[in-house]
Amino acid sequence: MLASSMALIQQFSVPIARGVRPSHRTCLRSCTMAVAPSSTPDLSIPSSTRDSSSQVLLGLSEKELQQVALDLGQQSYRGKQLHHLIYQRKVREIQDLYQLPQAFRNDLQEAGWTVGRSPIFNTVTAADGTIKLLLKLDDSRLIETVGIPVEDDKGSVRLTACVSSQVGCPLRCSFCATGKGGFSRNLKRHEIVEQVLSIEEVFKQRVTNVVFMGMGEPMLNLKMVLAAHHCLNKDVQIGQRMITISTVGVPNTIKKLASHKLQSTLAVSLHAPNQKLRETIVPSAKSYPLDALMSDCREYFLETSRRISFEYALLAGVNDSVDHARELAQLLHEWGHGYHVNLIPFNPIEGSEYRRPYKKAVQAFVSALESSKITVSVRQTRGLDANAACGQLRNKYQKSPLVTDPENMGSQLPNMDLAVTC
């Protein structure tokens, strides 16, 4: 998010789950995928790409995989085996499904099925153990996903996967590196799910929490985000309450999400206490006034009884004064209760005019909110030495601007300015 606007990869305030402490190097490292190319990798984007989503096994439920097996003349239990191999063993290629008969593997390939896993093009590990991955999709586009391990006082580790929902982002939030790289297309269900599996492979432990805060605006790809959410919950076995969906605000989508009555957390990227300031930070806010957004948030809470978390990126000298904090508290009190503010000190990105606030300013902002009886937390900064701001690593390797695919945009936001500078 963040891509959605929360393009700041840092620590998340989510429940603790059991885990095993991974071993990490304490220095920054960068390495290419297992089979490193002998020359500069070809990252050109093909003029046309094959849509193979209908023939991808990843993302299918156990029942659907059983049907695949039956359609190819196998017994249904082969589908259960497929499910285990894909989601638990994380097998990447059809011919590596050794527990299945060779004839079945051949039939799967001949029928055009693939597992649907993408190679890891690049990894960067920060000193604090945060790892950012670049995955290279079938069409040679690159997407980012981040694994964030956090150890509690008892030595247990929760592992959060920060996943992308789009290739790039069309909303162009002024502090976000993803928006600077342009927008290409929405991710498919399996391309979202595989990010979590890749994080588990790299860390050699289960992901306990998932946040849709990577590249892209999840609400602009809500159909696939919900499909991936279902798969992560039912097939990857991550509890709904351990999943967070972040949005900068897209008209009508919060109401649509509320109708699904998920137990997951909705995080709304606010970043300003008034409409005028918000428009300078989040250009799309011009077509989605703050009052309309807050009204939708109130209705979401009434519909789902789920507390909304408001993400607020603190930008030095822009939106981090005590007066801004008091105005934010007044805004939240005006629109109801059950809200939580998650403050995020800005994660510097190359070429940005914004600066990270001093700790003293952050604490003053916190105190002003608390004195107004607003629940607040400060996100611990993670991965500052690993190009952690969303989009930074991708832009390093795929410098050419992305061309917006109109078929992916459709008429999702007829009243919003979605122009992308290419």
Residues with catalytic annotation?
A: 144, 390
**∠ CA 29-32-33 to the nearest 5 degrees?**
125
CA distances from 205 to 26, 266, 323 (A): 19, 26, 44
* List of residues 6+ apart from 337 with CB closer than 8 A: none
Helix (H, G, I), strand (E, B) or coil at 73: coil
Contact 392, 350 (CB under 8 A): yes
Cα separation of 189 and 220, whole Å? 14
DSSP string of 88-102?
A: TS---SGGG-TTS-H
Distance of alpha carbon 66 from alpha carbon 75, whole angstroms: 8
Q: What is the DSSP string of 218-261?
A: GGGGHHHHHHHHHHHHHTS---GGGEEEEES--TTHHHHHHTT-
